[in-house]
Amino acid sequence: MAADDLQSVGKCCLRCKRPIFYGTCAKNTSVPLYIVNYTGWLLKRKEFIGNHRWQNTNDRLPSSRLHLSSSFRPSLVVWCCMREDSSIKREEQATKMISPQQIRNFCIIAHIDHGKSTLADRLLQLTNTVSNRDMKDQFLDSMDLERERGITIKLQTARMNYRAPDGNEYILNLIDTPGHVDFSYEVSRSLVACEGAILVVDASQGVEAQTLANVYLASESGLEIIPVLNKVDLPSAEPLRVKQEIEQMIGLDTSNCLEISAKTGKNVEKVLEYIVKYIPPPKDRSSFPLRALIFDSYYDAFRGVVVYFRVFDGILETGKKIRLMNSQKDFESVQVGVLAPHQVPVERLISGEVGYLVAGIKTVQDARVGDTITLAHQPADCALPGYKEAKPMVFCGLYPSDADQFEDLREALEKLKLNDSSLSYEPESSSAMGFGFRCGFLGLLHMEIVCERLSREYGLDLVTTSPSVGYYVYLHDNSSMLIQNPCELPEPHLVDYLEEPYVRLEIITPTEYVGPLMELTQSRRGIFQDMKYITATRTSLVYELPLAELVTNFFDLVKSRSRGYASMEYQWSGYRRGDLVKLEVAVNGEKVDALCSIVHRDKAYSIARALTERLKELIPRQQFRIPVQGMIGNRVIASEHIPALRKDVLAKCYGGDISRKKKLLKKQAEGKKRMKAIGKVDVPQEAFRAMLSLKQTED
Ligand SMILES: Nc1nc2c(ncn2[C@@H]2O[C@H](COP(=O)(O)OP(=O)(O)OP(=O)(O)O)[C@@H](O)[C@H]2O)c(=O)[nH]1
């Protein structure tokens, strides 16, 4: 019997909340119950007591996987999601009243690839939050891209129930954070929702740049930090050396530091004990007016915006009128729940708890991350401090390769933006590429991920212009403007000077690679700030570096010059004046706006030369000779020519008079001249990528 044959009785299974499809049951009478999966396979037989609970019966069917034939008519068939009893129990527990003393809110922070997500997996398994059957690697990384690349992009939340050795039950709210520097704003958002942080350090690598950056963030937020050495199963693990590094570089006591292997599970249960023991519970402020901080949100096509929040004061209940304090908009809380790690509705969440809210909010802009939720009829006096808004740092133009896809691209960007508020975009047009959008990203990885999602999830074929940064332009008339597209730079005679964004860059490297890395950083216009020998073998280098130099493949070069051992971290440090010029490229006398860039004057010549040489290879030959020129203003600083395709007009002249041949050649030359004057050269899309790849090979 296929599931489609089942008739709905209009009721839901009391435990798994899925509809019951066939059969009736009188109150308090016991009838056998057959649970089938979606295709009609019998999975389990249970006892159903009318109106309420289910009970397991010992009388099992001979085979647990018996295919139901059409003659088989059980007295009651339920369409059931077949979740294990333990998970149903957890949901029941989720709805029980708890006290803040039982709650621990913590996040896992670490340098990229030190094992945060793997540790989160083990914790979920140990607390039976996810059954072994449902478990998969990087369970919390739900996006396909995250799983394929093995990186965390978005922060993820999970609530776990844990019975400590002291016999008490605790609720542990875990937030898994991304490690890549582009997403560090996600880390700072998670920290505000927690009282403690597990600092994971790879025992085979030691303290890296992002480890330090995250520790600074966590201690700024006043979090209790528990250091944990991971990957001790690796033969290359050096726990003693790494502990020393933690003490010297971070200043944390490592006498009780746990040595774990998130992969094999060694000592992971001790991590749970440490969380309960060392991370303080949230303060009990349930009697105060409600204040809950939104730390994440996403758009769901059916339910509107789903908001993730942490209650700081008061109680948030289902069915109450709520107010978002910054946007000053009121909504009704339709559903409040916990993330276990799937969403489970509950009646109420008290101060200290982390959960989600559905309130019929239509746009993410109405429920911005960092806003405070309060009650409409009893609002709090002031909002919680919130967050600094994530500023896009890198910009690029996105153009559909097929002009008809422009509207599709707009729609796709709109949808992506609903779940990724750090993405910005506005329409722009280019004479070479038609209509498109100028988009702002947090960094190169963010840009790569957005482009990949656009092509994968929305089937768009895109042309991306080379990434650029925002510049402040000061004009002679004392006005100033911020430009995100190099083409917007006014004529050179109007411009007084330009300012470009700088970052404070910290590289941590084994000492033997200091030389090549300093050379690289200086070739990228880095300004030396500091150098420290952290331990006998490791050194920290601090530079101020123009962001524009960082976005062109700098990270890969750091990795290749240090054989993968160096790590880096950067923070926005402000704008500085620079000797910058607008480099334009003209093909057949026409400037191609999409190839325009702002570069440092000293590098303009070499970039222009390399670019024109590359374009010469990429632009197909035409019937006429095409000049390709690199220009600053009207001055040509590099030039190449693409030779014409030649038709042998003399082929038909067997012997013959020289004047006849000359006449034919002259006629051909005139034709080409005319063609050149009116002919249009199509610049292939690869040429636009040339600028990026060019800067990559330049070093
Ligand atoms: N041998 C060994 N490998 C581990 C251990 N923990 C994690 N790994 C491996 O290290 C790699 C990175 O682990 P992840 O858990 O994805 O690291 P992450 O810190 O979450 O990475 P991001 O989310 O990208 O920052 C994976 O290949 C894991 O299998 C461990 O204890 N031992």
Q: How far apart are CA 80 and CA 88, in angstroms?
A: 12
Least confident of 37-51, 267-281, 344-358: 37-51
Contact 400, 459 (CB under 8 A): no
Atom of ligand 1 nearest to the CA of 151: 24
Q: How far apart are CA 346 and CA 336, in angstroms?
A: 6
Sheet holding 462-464, edge to edge: 424-430, 434-441, 394-400, 462-464
Q: The dihedral of CA 188, 193, 195, 201: what is its sign?
A: negative
Instruction: Please report which confidence band the pLDDT of residue 613 belongs to, taking 50, 70 and 90 as the band edges.
Output: confident
Ligand 1 pocket, residue 152 CB under 6 Å: yes
Is 180 assigned to a binding site?
yes
Strands (E) in 304-451, as ranges, are: 304-313, 316-317, 321-324, 329-332, 335-339, 343-346, 348-349, 354-358, 372-375, 394-400, 424-430, 434-441
Residue of 117, 139, 175, 259 best suited for mutating to test ligand 1, as the one with most atoms within 8 Å of CB:
117
Burial class (CB in 10 A: 0-12, 13-18, 19+), 39: exposed
Which residue has 């489609």 as its token pair? Answer: 4
Query: What mean pLDDT do residues 288-297 have?
Result: 87
Is 493 assigned to a binding site?
no
Output the pLDDT for position 228: 93
Output the pLDDT for position 457: 80
Would you say residue 498 has pLDDT above 50? yes
Is 588 assigned to a binding site?
no
Is 270 assigned to a binding site?
no
User: Could you confirm whether domain 472-578 is CATH 3.40.50.300?
Assistant: no
CA 113 to ligand 1 center in whole angstroms = 5
Which residue, by CA, sits nearest to atom 30 of ligand 1? 231
Distance spanning both ends of the chain, measured CA to CA: 67
Is 110 assigned to a binding site?
yes
**How do residues 140-192 score in pLDDT, each as one tens digit?**
655 666 666 666 666 778 888 888 888 888 889 888 877 676 777 777 777 88
Output the pLDDT for position 70: 34
CA 18 to ligand 1 center in whole angstroms = 36
CA 174 to ligand 1 center in whole angstroms = 17
Would you say residue 2 has pLDDT above 80? no
Structure tokens at 554: 């700098």
Query: What mean pLDDT do residues 243-261 have?
Result: 87
Output the pLDDT for position 691: 57
Query: What mean pLDDT do residues 214-238 have?
Result: 89
Ligand 1 pocket, residue 118 CB under 6 Å: yes
CATH fold label, 581-697: Alpha-Beta Plaits (3.30.70)
Is 116 assigned to a binding site?
yes
SS3 306: strand
* Closest C-alpha among 509, 556, 506 to residue 206: 509
Contact 258, 271 (CB under 8 A): yes
Query: What mean pLDDT do residues 55-74 have?
Result: 34
Would you say residue 548 has pLDDT above 90? no
How many angstroms separate the Cα of 173 from the Cα of each of 115, 162, 363, 602?
18, 11, 27, 53
Atom of ligand 1 nearest to the CA of 177: 23
User: Could you confirm whether domain 93-278 is CATH 3.40.50.300?
Assistant: yes
Least confident of 115-129, 407-421, 510-524, 573-587: 407-421
Output the pLDDT for position 210: 82
Helix residue ranges per DSSP H, 471-624: 514-523, 547-550, 554-561, 601-618
Is 552 assigned to a binding site?
no
Ligand 1 pocket, residue 230 CB under 6 Å: yes
Ligand 1 pocket, residue 205 CB under 6 Å: no
Is 330 assigned to a binding site?
no
- Degrees, nearest 5: CA angle 488-491-492: 120
Residues with Cβ within 8 Å of 457's Cβ and at least 6 positions away in sequence, in order, are 412
Ligand 1 pocket, residue 151 CB under 6 Å: yes
Ligand 1 pocket, residue 323 CB under 6 Å: no
Output the pLDDT for position 199: 93
More confident residue, 553 or 435: 435
CATH fold label, 291-375: Elongation Factor Tu (Ef-tu); domain 3 (2.40.30)
Contact 87, 131 (CB under 8 A): yes
CA 265 to ligand 1 center in whole angstroms = 12
Ligand 1 pocket, residue 184 CB under 6 Å: no
Ligand 1 pocket, residue 112 CB under 6 Å: yes
More confident residue, 618 or 637: 637
CA 251 to ligand 1 center in whole angstroms = 25
Residue of 108, 111, 112, 113 best suited for mutating to test ligand 1, as the one with most atoms within 8 Å of CB:
113
How many angstroms separate the Cα of 46 from the Cα of each of 64, 77, 188, 462, 677?
12, 10, 48, 54, 84
Give the containing element (helix H, strand E) for 146.
helix 144-149
What does the chain come to in residues? 699
Ligand 1 pocket, residue 206 CB under 6 Å: no
- In 10 A of CB 468, how many CB atoms? 25
Is 236 assigned to a binding site?
no
CA 115 to ligand 1 center in whole angstroms = 3
- In 10 A of CB 549, how many CB atoms? 22
Is 253 assigned to a binding site?
no
Is 283 assigned to a binding site?
no
* Closest C-alpha among 188, 545, 181 to residue 389: 188
Ligand 1 pocket, residue 178 CB under 6 Å: yes
Query: What mean pLDDT do residues 572-591 have?
Result: 86
Q: How far apart are CA 416 and CA 527, in angstroms?
A: 37
Is 420 assigned to a binding site?
no
CA 128 to ligand 1 center in whole angstroms = 21
Q: What is the DSSP letter of 52?
A: S
CA 444 to ligand 1 center in whole angstroms = 22
Ligand 1 pocket, residue 286 CB under 6 Å: no
Contact 355, 346 (CB under 8 A): yes
Atom of ligand 1 nearest to the CA of 180: 25
Output the pLDDT for position 261: 92
Least confident of 220-229, 409-418, 496-505: 409-418
Contact 137, 121 (CB under 8 A): yes
Residues above pLDDT 90, as percent of the chain: 11
Ligand 1 pocket, residue 280 CB under 6 Å: no
Which residue has 């209650």 as its token pair? Answer: 311
Is 633 assigned to a binding site?
no
Output the pLDDT for position 48: 46
Is 28 assigned to a binding site?
no
Would you say residue 20 has pLDDT above 50? no
CA 290 to ligand 1 center in whole angstroms = 39
How many angstroms separate the Cα of 662 from the Cα of each of 645, 648, 654, 673, 674?
19, 13, 14, 16, 18
CA 53 to ligand 1 center in whole angstroms = 42
CA 109 to ligand 1 center in whole angstroms = 12
Is 23 assigned to a binding site?
no
Output the pLDDT for position 82: 37
Instruction: Give 584's Cβ-side CA count (13 Å radius).
Output: 21
Ligand 1 pocket, residue 352 CB under 6 Å: no
Q: How far apart are CA 600 and CA 613, in angstroms?
A: 20
Listed as own residue / partner, the contacts of 403-409 with beta carbons closer than 8 Å and 24 or more positions apart are 403/434, 403/435, 405/460, 405/461, 406/434, 406/435, 406/436, 408/458, 408/460, 409/436, 409/437, 409/454, 409/458, 409/460, 409/462
Would you say residue 250 has pLDDT above 80? yes
Is 296 assigned to a binding site?
no
Residues above pLDDT 70, as percent of the chain: 77
Query: What mean pLDDT do residues 551-566 have?
Result: 83
Give the containing element (helix H, strand E) for 446.
helix 444-458
CA 184 to ligand 1 center in whole angstroms = 18
Would you say residue 553 has pLDDT above 80? no
Instruction: Please report which confidence band the pLDDT of residue 634 belongs to, taking 50, 70 and 90 as the band edges.
Output: confident
Reduced DSSP (H G I as helix, E B as strand, rest coil) percent helix, strand, coil of the chain, to 5: 30, 35, 40
Q: Which amino acid is at 695?
A: K
CA trace torsion 253, 259, 262, 267 (10° rounding): -110
Query: Residues 57-94, buried b or exposed e (16+ Cβ, 10 A)?
Result: eeeeeeeeeeebeeeeebebbbbbeebeeebbebbeeb
Q: What is the DSSP letter of 577?
A: E
- Degrees, nearest 5: CA angle 381-386-392: 150
The per-residue pLDDT of the chain, averaged, comes to: 77
Atom of ligand 1 nearest to the CA of 150: 16
Would you say residue 88 has pLDDT above 70? no
Instruction: Please report which confidence band the pLDDT of residue 519 belongs to, taking 50, 70 and 90 as the band edges.
Output: very high
* Residue ranges per structural domain of the chain: 3-82, 93-278, 291-375, 394-464, 472-578, 581-697
Atom of ligand 1 nearest to the CA of 230: 31
Which residue, by CA, sits nearest to atom 13 of ligand 1? 115
Instruction: Please report which confidence band the pLDDT of residue 693 belongs to, taking 50, 70 and 90 as the band edges.
Output: low
CA 120 to ligand 1 center in whole angstroms = 10
Q: Which neighbouring-strand residues pair with 48?
A: 31, 54
Complex ipTM, two decimals?
A: 0.97
Residues with Cβ within 8 Å of 71's Cβ and at least 6 positions away in sequence, in order, are none
CA 534 to ligand 1 center in whole angstroms = 25
Structure tokens at 477: 């008339």
More confident residue, 291 or 133: 291
Contact 675, 533 (CB under 8 A): no
Would you say residue 17 has pLDDT above 60? no
Ligand 1 pocket, residue 233 CB under 6 Å: yes
Would you say residue 105 has pLDDT above 50? yes
Contact 102, 94 (CB under 8 A): no
Atom of ligand 1 nearest to the CA of 152: 23
CA 272 to ligand 1 center in whole angstroms = 19
Would you say residue 232 has pLDDT above 90? yes
Would you say residue 670 has pLDDT above 80? no
Ligand 1 pocket, residue 231 CB under 6 Å: yes
SS3 289: coil
Range picked from 9-23, 38-52, 650-664 for highest mean pLDDT: 650-664
CATH of 394-464, one of 2.40.10.10, 3.30.70.870, 3.40.605.10, 2.50.20.10: 3.30.70.870
CA 114 to ligand 1 center in whole angstroms = 5
Q: The dihedral of CA 561, 564, 567, 573: what is its sign?
A: positive
Would you say residue 529 has pLDDT above 90? yes
Domain 394-464 identical in fold to domain 472-578? yes
Give the containing element (helix H, strand E) for 203.
none
- In 10 A of CB 414, how many CB atoms? 10
Q: How far apart are CA 651 and CA 647, in angstroms?
A: 9
Instruction: Give 89's Cβ-side CA count (13 Å radius).
Output: 10
Instruction: Please report which confidence band the pLDDT of residue 419 belongs to, taking 50, 70 and 90 as the band edges.
Output: low
Output the pLDDT for position 280: 92
